[in-house]
Amino acid sequence: MRARIAPLLVALGTFACGGEAPPPASPSGVTAVVAPPTPSAPPAPKVPRAASPQPASASAVTFARMAKHPEPGWSVPSQLSFVPGTRKIAYLASEQKNDVLSLFEYDEAQGATKVLLRAQDLVPKAGEVISKEEELRRERQRLRTKGITSYAFAKQGGRLVVPFAGDVYLRESDGRVRALTATKDPELDPKICASGEKVVYVRGPELYAYDLASSKEVALTRGAKAHVTRGQSDYNSQEEFGEPSGFFLSPDCKSVVFLEVDDAEVDELVVPGYRAGEARFDAERYPLAGGKNPKVSVYVAPLAGGAPRKVTLPGMDGRYLVSFSWEPTSAAFSLQAVARDQRSVSFVRVDARSLATSVREIASDRRYAEALPMKRLEGSSGFVSIGVTGGHGHLELRDGQGAVEKVLTQGAWDVTQISAIDEKNRVVYFVGTKDSPLERNLYAVPLAGGEVRRVTPEPGVHVPVVDGETGRYLDVHSARNRPPAVELRGPKGEKLHDLTPPKDPEIEALGVRPLEPFTAYTKDGTLLHGNLLRPRRQEPGRLYPVVVMVYGGPGVQAVQNKFAPKLLWQHLADRGFFVLQVDNRGSAGRGHEFASVTYGKLGRIELEDQLDALEALKSMEGVDPTRVGIYGVSYGGTMVLNAMLRAPGKYKAGIADASVVDWSFYDSGYTERYLGPKGPAYTETELSQHAAALQGKLLVMHGLMDENVHFANSAKLVDALVAAQKPFDMVVLPGERHGTKDPAAKEWVSRKIAEYFAETLR
Q: What integer is the mean pLDDT of 670-694?
A: 98
Q: What is the predicted pLDDT for the residue at 44?
A: 62
- Give the range of the structural domain holding residue 701, as residue numbers without chain letter: 52-66+505-760
Q: What is the predicted pLDDT for the residue at 82?
A: 98
Task: Give the contacts of 715 (CB within 8 A, at least 6 positions apart).
Answer: none
Higher pLDDT, 47 or 315: 315
Instruction: Check whether 383 has a pLDDT greater than 60.
Output: yes
Q: What integer is the mean pLDDT of 541-558?
A: 98
Q: What is the predicted pLDDT for the residue at 124?
A: 65
Edge-to-edge order in the sheet of strand 167-171: 152-153, 160-164, 167-171, 177-179
Instruction: Check whether 164 has a pLDDT greater than 60.
Output: yes
Answer yes or no: do 492 and 532 share one domain.
no
Q: How many structural domains does the chain have?
A: 3
Q: What integer is the mean pLDDT of 433-462?
A: 98
Residue 219 located in a structural domain:
no
Instruction: Check whether 14 has a pLDDT greater than 90.
Output: no
Instruction: Check whether 7 has a pLDDT greater than 70.
Output: no
Answer yes or no: do 480 and 548 share one domain.
no
Contact criterion met (CB below 8 Å) for 106 and 499: yes
Residue 128 located in a structural domain:
yes
Higher pLDDT, 35 or 638: 638
Q: What integer is the mean pLDDT of 452-457?
A: 98
Q: What is the predicted pLDDT for the residue at 132?
A: 76
Contact criterion met (CB below 8 Å) for 699 and 756: yes
Considering only CA atoms, which of 242, 265, 241, 336 is closest in space to residue 298?
A: 336
Q: What is the predicted pLDDT for the residue at 45?
A: 65
Q: What is the predicted pLDDT for the residue at 48?
A: 86
Answer yes or no: do 177 and 99 share one domain.
yes
Characterize the bridge pairing of strands 542-549 and 623-633.
Answer: parallel
Residue type, 146: K
Answer yes or no: do 578 and 671 share one domain.
yes
Residue type, 313: L
Question: pLDDT band at residue 16, thresholds of 50, 70 and 90?
Answer: very low
Cα→Cα distances 154→34, 89, 114, 251, 601, Å? 105, 14, 20, 11, 47
Q: What is the predicted pLDDT for the residue at 135?
A: 78
Instruction: Check whether 551 has a pLDDT greater than 90.
Output: yes
Residue type, 255: S
Maximum alpha-carbon separation in the chain: 133
Answer yes or no: do 617 and 653 share one domain.
yes
Boundary-marking domain end, from 458, 477, 502:
502
Answer yes or no: do 495 and 540 share one domain.
no
Question: pLDDT band at residue 17, thresholds of 50, 70 and 90?
Answer: very low
Q: What integer is the mean pLDDT of 472-501?
A: 97
Cα 516 to Cα 707: distance, rounded to the nearest angstrom:
36
Residue 526 located in a structural domain:
yes
Q: What is the predicted pLDDT for the residue at 40?
A: 62
Contact criterion met (CB below 8 Å) for 292 and 266: yes
Burial of 634 (0-12, 13-18, 19+ CB in 10 A): buried
Q: What integer is the mean pLDDT of 274-298?
A: 96
Residue 647 located in a structural domain:
yes
Question: pLDDT band at residue 43, thresholds of 50, 70 and 90?
Answer: low
Q: What percent of the chain has pLDDT over 70?
A: 93
Instruction: Check whether 398 has a pLDDT greater than 80.
Output: yes
Residue 542 located in a structural domain:
yes
Answer yes or no: do 454 and 527 share one domain.
no
Contact criterion met (CB below 8 Å) for 361 and 344: yes
Task: Give the contacts of 293 (CB within 8 A, at least 6 positions apart).
Answer: 234, 236, 266, 287, 318, 340, 668
Contact criterion met (CB below 8 Å) for 452 and 473: no
319-363, pLDDT tens digit by residue? 999 999 999 999 999 999 999 999 999 999 999 999 999 999 999
Instruction: Check whether 11 has a pLDDT greater than 60.
Output: no
Residue 193 located in a structural domain:
no
Q: What integer is the mean pLDDT of 285-314?
A: 98
- Which helix (H) or strand (E) segment holds residue 573: the answer is helix 567-574
Cα 582 to Cα 519: distance, rounded to the nearest angstrom:
8
Answer yes or no: do 542 and 580 share one domain.
yes
Question: pLDDT band at residue 20, thresholds of 50, 70 and 90?
Answer: very low
Q: Work out the mean pLDDT of the chain and round it to a whole number.
A: 93
Identify the weakest region by mean pLDDT among 71-75, 204-208, 489-493.
Answer: 489-493
Q: How many residues does the chain have?
A: 762
Long-range contacts of 486-489 (CB under 8 A, 24+ apart): 486/76, 486/77, 486/80, 488/89, 488/108, 489/455, 489/456
Active-site residue list? 634, 706, 738
Burial of 756 (0-12, 13-18, 19+ CB in 10 A): buried
What is the CB neighbour count within 10 angstroms for residue 576?
23
Answer yes or no: do 609 and 756 share one domain.
yes
The end-to-end CA distance of the chain, in Å, is 22
Question: pLDDT band at residue 27, thresholds of 50, 70 and 90?
Answer: very low
Boundary-marking domain end, from 153, 184, 215:
184
- Cis preceding linkage at 70, omega within 30: yes
Boundary-marking domain end, from 468, 502, 536:
502
Residue 385 located in a structural domain:
yes
Contact criterion met (CB below 8 Å) for 667 and 286: yes
Residue type, 86: T
Q: What percent of the chain has pLDDT over 90?
A: 89
93-127, pLDDT tens digit by residue? 999 888 899 999 999 999 999 999 999 888 865 55
Q: What is the predicted pLDDT for the residue at 15?
A: 31
Residue type, 597: V
Instruction: Check whether 25 has a pLDDT greater than 70.
Output: no
Q: What is the predicted pLDDT for the residue at 39?
A: 56
CATH number at residue 536: 3.40.50.1820
Q: What is the predicted pLDDT for the residue at 125?
A: 57
Contact criterion met (CB below 8 Å) for 671 and 202: no
Identify the weakest region by mean pLDDT among 117-121, 245-249, 634-638, 728-732.
Answer: 117-121
Answer yes or no: do 634 and 732 share one domain.
yes
CATH number at residue 419: 2.120.10.30
Residue type, 744: A
Residue 717 located in a structural domain:
yes
Q: What is the predicted pLDDT for the residue at 1?
A: 39
Q: What is the predicted pLDDT for the residue at 602?
A: 99
Answer yes or no: do 639 and 755 share one domain.
yes
Residue type, 234: D
Q: What is the predicted pLDDT for the residue at 276?
A: 87
Cα 743 to Cα 448: distance, rounded to the nearest angstrom:
52
Characterize the bridge pairing of strands 146-147 and 100-107.
Answer: parallel
Answer yes or no: do 745 and 624 share one domain.
yes
**Phi, psi at 552, each rounded to 5°:** 85, -5
Instruction: Check whether 679 has a pLDDT greater than 80.
Output: yes
Q: What integer is the mean pLDDT of 53-81?
A: 97
